[in-house]
Chain A
Amino acid sequence: MEYLLGIYTDPKTEPQPGTPEFEKIMAGYFAFTNEVNEAGVMRGGNALQPSESGSTVSVRGSKSEIVDGPFAETKEQLGGYYLLDCKDLDEALKWAAKIPGAEHGRIEVRPVVVFD
């Protein structure tokens, strides 16, 4: 089964670039990415630009509306994701707990729908 592991962190409280804490986290992501690659479960993953860079589009009838920023105003924002192929939820949860962002933010684990 494929799972999307969404990494939600608070940009205000997470380590900032240029600090040793930030370097440590980046090294952690590097190691994690290597580990999932070696385990053969990696199906994809990316870091995202900050949510201020986001735009939200909605179409109602023939009118399309574009709004600056993310849809939901929450402290924790989607900062990146991994797409992993796991045996079951327990395996996905184990990987999720290893993502460095889990230590200062949260990881949402969502199964991917399979269409016949």
Chain B
Amino acid sequence: MAVTDRFEEPVPVTNRQIDHAVRQEWGRVLAALLHRVRQIELAEDALQDAYVAALSHWPNHGMPKSPRAWLLRTAERKAIDAIRRAKVFQTKQQQLAILRELEGGAHDDDPSPFPDDRLKLIFTCCHPALPHEASVALTLKTICGLNTPQIARAFLVSETTMAQRIVRAKRKISVAGIPYTVPDAELWGERMAAVLAVIYFIFNEGYAALKGDTHARTDLCEEAIRLGRIVTGLVPAESEAAGLLALMLLHHSRRYARLGREGEIIPLDAQDRDKWEPDDIAEGLTHLMMAGDSASPGPYTLQASLSAVHARAKSFAETDWLTMIGLYDQLYAQNPSPVVLLNRAVAVSYSEGPQAGLAALKALEIEPRLAKYQPFHAARADMLARAGRNTEAHRAYDRALELTQNVAEREFLEKKRKSLTN
């Protein structure tokens, strides 16, 4: 008995641990709170107050058995106080109805699980009636528990701009009557696509952050993957959600190999594959397997399958280009974009040789969208160089360099162009 007594002493809790615990639970608690309070602003403020209370309470009393239940209970009390003071309600009846529900549903210390309402919250934040950039910010704020300054830094905008963006979006949710609900079958496909697009956008923002203050920037790739895990956890049957998660994990697995010490781009053929993260690859391939069960894989699943071909190859030379060409054909059938054909041509250039790749590109030259597309000229330059046509390759690199706007890309292309003369 003396032994157990010792464990009842409060364990010292640091602010860092509190931050971590609160952020872990943020989305779930907020979603549960929103179910009762219905006003996103009010729910967020109440949870923020509960977090402040945790900072003063937990260091003295130790971490509660269920931080989630503690936060919800405390936030509900804060919400009741706020509602009594607030004037945000459209009608008095509305206010009373919410108060009654909150007070009726008072929790005791029972840490039993409450329903996970995060899916409703995600669909609300990613509603197509909201501007895309606002959906991105709201999702990071409500589901991932990032604060406004963190989101502002991540997207390189001022805190004021980001705060306004978020306030406007929340106002629209409440004023326009954007529902806090999971869409019905009729709307499901379109709305799920919107959710996945927001998550993929967040990932790409993080992925494209090549240079600059990467330390101070929140790792958006990690946040996007976390969102992907939440959605696949909540809707395991949604194959494209699993496909997107696989795609993000497989790309993310190369984070230590794809950039050099100076932040320069290292292309796939020059990456040290020992630096690819095996855990991410394994998790990515598992999700891809679950997504791949569907008879007609969607675009995220197909792109993940493409990435998986590289993940499975021991070296660049061992890449299964034929499989890749087949996957690009499937992708093109769904999304007839010249960019897909460009990537297919690159695969052809490795499978059948640079001349065959150049022939495939020739057919694409008439595409107006590709004429000003830097990767088209960079791919062409690379194939010309591999075919030994250095003068033409030089000219193609010149064109690619004219079109690039990114420092890392510029340095990469300049290096490639310089290597031609040797």
Contacts and interface: CB of A to CB of B under 8 A. Distances in A.
A90 B92 contact: no
A114 B91 contact: yes
B168 to A, nearest CB: 15
B176 A89 contact: yes
Contact of A111 (B92, B127, B177): B177
B129 A89 contact: yes
Interface string A96-109: 00000000000001
B210 interface: no
A1 B351 CA distance: 60
Contacts of A87: 179
B268 to A, nearest CB: 43
Contacts of B178: 88-90
Band of interface residues on A: 10 to 19
Nearest to B128: A93
Contacts of B187: 90
A87 B91 CA distance: 16
Interface string B236-271: 000000000000000000000000000000000000
A89 B179 CA distance: 7
A116 B94 CA distance: 11
Contact of B177 (A92, A94, A116): A92
Contacts of B177: 1, 3, 86, 88-89, 92, 111
B91 A88 contact: no
B175 interface: yes
Interface string B76-93: 000000000000001110
Classify the secondary structure of B's interface with A: loop
B88 to A, nearest CB: 12
Interface string B157-181: 0000000000000000001111101
B129 A93 contact: yes
B299 interface: no
Contacts of A1: 177
Given A89-B129, A90-B187, A93-B129, A114 B179 contact: no
Interface in B93-152: 127, 129
A88 B179 CA distance: 6
B91 A111 contact: no
Contacts of B62: none
A97 to B, nearest CB: 11
Contacts of A88: 177-179, 181
A89 B177 CA distance: 5
Given A116-B91, A116-B92, A111 B176 contact: yes
B183 interface: yes
Given A90-B183, A90-B187, A111 B175 contact: yes
Interface in A61-84: none
Nearest to B123: A90
Nearest to B87: A116
Contacts of B175: 111
Contacts of B92: 116
A107 to B, nearest CB: 13
A93 B181 CA distance: 15
Interface of B: 90-92, 127, 129, 175-179, 181, 183, 186-187
Interface of A: 1, 3, 86-90, 92-94, 109, 111, 114, 116
23 contacts: A1-B177, A86-B177, A87-B179, A88-B178, A88-B179, A88-B181, A89-B127, A89-B129, A89-B178, A89-B179, A90-B178, A90-B187, A92-B177, A93-B129, A94-B186, A109-B176, A111-B175, A111-B176, A111-B177, A114-B90, A116-B90, A116-B91, A116-B92
Given A1-B177, A111-B176, A114-B90, 9 more contacts: A3-B177, A89-B127, A89-B178, A89-B179, A92-B177, A109-B176, A111-B175, A114-B91, A116-B91
